[in-house]
Amino acid sequence: MQEFNEQGTRKLKDTVEKELGNILDRLESLTSDQCSYDTFSGKAKDMEGNVKFVIETDAIK
């Protein structure tokens, strides 16, 4: 059982935590106030606005 834990489940757990941690860090960075835009080309102070980016990528195969 100890060997299964060390070679199997612990490795899997460590990998998932590392990769998920990286993804969550990126998501947090992208959704922070520092990355939010309310104008792309300018707007008057009394106007509201928001900006969304559409990124086209190659197909996932």
Q: Is 24 left (phi over 0), alpha (psi -120 to 50) or beta?
A: alpha
pLDDT at 8 over 80: no
Boundaries of every domain in the chain: 2-35
Q: Mind listing the pLDDT tens digit for each residue in 24-57?
A: 888 888 778 777 777 778 888 898 888 888 889 9
Residue 12 has a pLDDT of 84
Categorize the per-residue pLDDT at 58 as very low, low, confident or very high, splitting at 50, 70 and 90.
very high
Its pTM stands at: 0.39
Residues 6+ apart with CB under 8 A from 31: none
Cα R_g (the chain), whole angstroms: 21
Beta carbons of 38 and 49 less than 8 angstroms apart:
yes
